[in-house]
Structure 1
Amino acid sequence: MDGILVIDKPAGMTSHDVIATLRRKYRQKKFGHTGTLDPDASGVLVILAGKAAKCLQFLPDTDKEYIAELALGSETDTDDASGTVVRTAPVNRDFSLDQELKKFEGPLHQQVPTTSAKKIAGRKLMDYQRKGQEVPAVYTDVTIYDTEVLDEDDLRFRVSCSSGTYIRALCRDLARATGNCGHMKSLRRTRAGGFTLEQAEPLDADCHTIHPIERVLETIPAADSAQVDLSDIRNGRHIRLNTPDDRVLVLDSDGHALAVYDRDHGDVFACARGLW
């Protein structure tokens, strides 16, 4: 099996659990995913199968979309419902969720949750926390493109954001901005890697749709086939191309991805990754 699977990850499983399930189901070892979803989160998880796993390094950090629900009254050490409560406070509902969300739209210097795989000095933040050590404050620059309130009473909203955005951190900061303490109650990813929730299939489906490898490489310009000898490509040889692009995708005669080539010098390109 070679291609892309789009799985609707159920809550309660890690992304690695999904990979392990697919390996058993299809009796194939080569599976990888393009972006981790926390165990408590559900939704779009893009899986690379077989030869497609070779494409991972070339995939762009695509924008993502989520539906989240905020819980007020308690803050946890993980900023979501799975953590230990570290602070409580009376709930203040004297605010407009839509107006408060709009304040977060645009570039955002976001503090990374302390329970995170983000590294500082070669160590994951969660490692500091597990050992009872003070967790350094780490920030990341992200962008919130758009927000939409779905249910004011339940504090449920949709957010479109750049890759690397922590929605649980957004929930934490949103609660604080309204004079509350709070955490992310639930999270569902509705778009990732150019795929939507409508395209995602249950993990336990009898079989899954296999999207072509080219689907995740479409941002790389294709090399002019008239300038390419496919035997050179299959043997990983350098080639010459007259193109302004520094990276190109070489397709075979059937339009299937064969290799990614990067400019080496002048008009000479070297094979960055064979996909055969």
Structure 2
Amino acid sequence: MKASSGYAGVPRWVLAIAIIGALFVVLPLVAMVVRVNWGQLIPLITSKESTDALLLSLRTSGAATLLCIIVGVPMALVLARTRFPGQRIVRSLVLLPLVLPPVVGGIALLYTFGRQGLLKAPMDFLGIQIAFSTTAVILAQTFVALPFLVLSLEGALRTVGTRYEAIGATLGAGPTTVLRRITLPLVLPALVSGAVLSFARALGEFGATLTFAGSLQGVTRTLPLEIYLQRESDPDAAVALALVLVAVAILVVGLAHQASLGNAGGRQRLL
């Protein structure tokens, strides 16, 4: 039998197309790096507007990621471990922000939590105003980032199956003990990976944030909004800030990849 042609068993035409695809992603990043005014990089990214936007983005993205974990883990568990009428519809609705334009999500949030929104009466009664505040930024980021955690964790839960949980239950462990001592440790790398991806999505959120929270320096103007505003008035500053965001995104994606490898390795050891 003849050895398969191509590089490492992959046809050469596939390799060529893969290289073209990689160049399509990498070349714009290279072009941005070339455009950076390196002599002015530090002053540009350490201005008050830039540091306010970066720190706000980090704080709100961290809070949004925490909300994604608090809400997303139970959602993923229910979708993966239970059966109920309309489950497919519910899953589709949960994952809907993945395909919705972010500005549509922002409009939906505005008409839910805004001053004239669906929850106007109870919010007025409690004296709560959310729209165009830092809280609105966090909610907008959570709305677009939550599906990443749910999707990642639900897939991991379905992959590991229920046999270890069943063994724990037969030994007398209650549902909460099984969840805490068996289920969550089994899918912990997937949970970390989903949380990291949610953080990355929240960090790069623009459309929903602008629509629902506006752009007030130090309050709602996150780093993507600052980059957009600087693009018109100071292109060098915009490119410098974009480079910072790219660097953070690369770090986050790298962490998510490592977590995914850890998840795969953990499953292989269990099997």
So what's the TM-score if we normalise by structure 2?
A: 0.22
So what's the TM-score if we normalise by structure 1?
A: 0.22
**Structure with the larger strand share:** 1
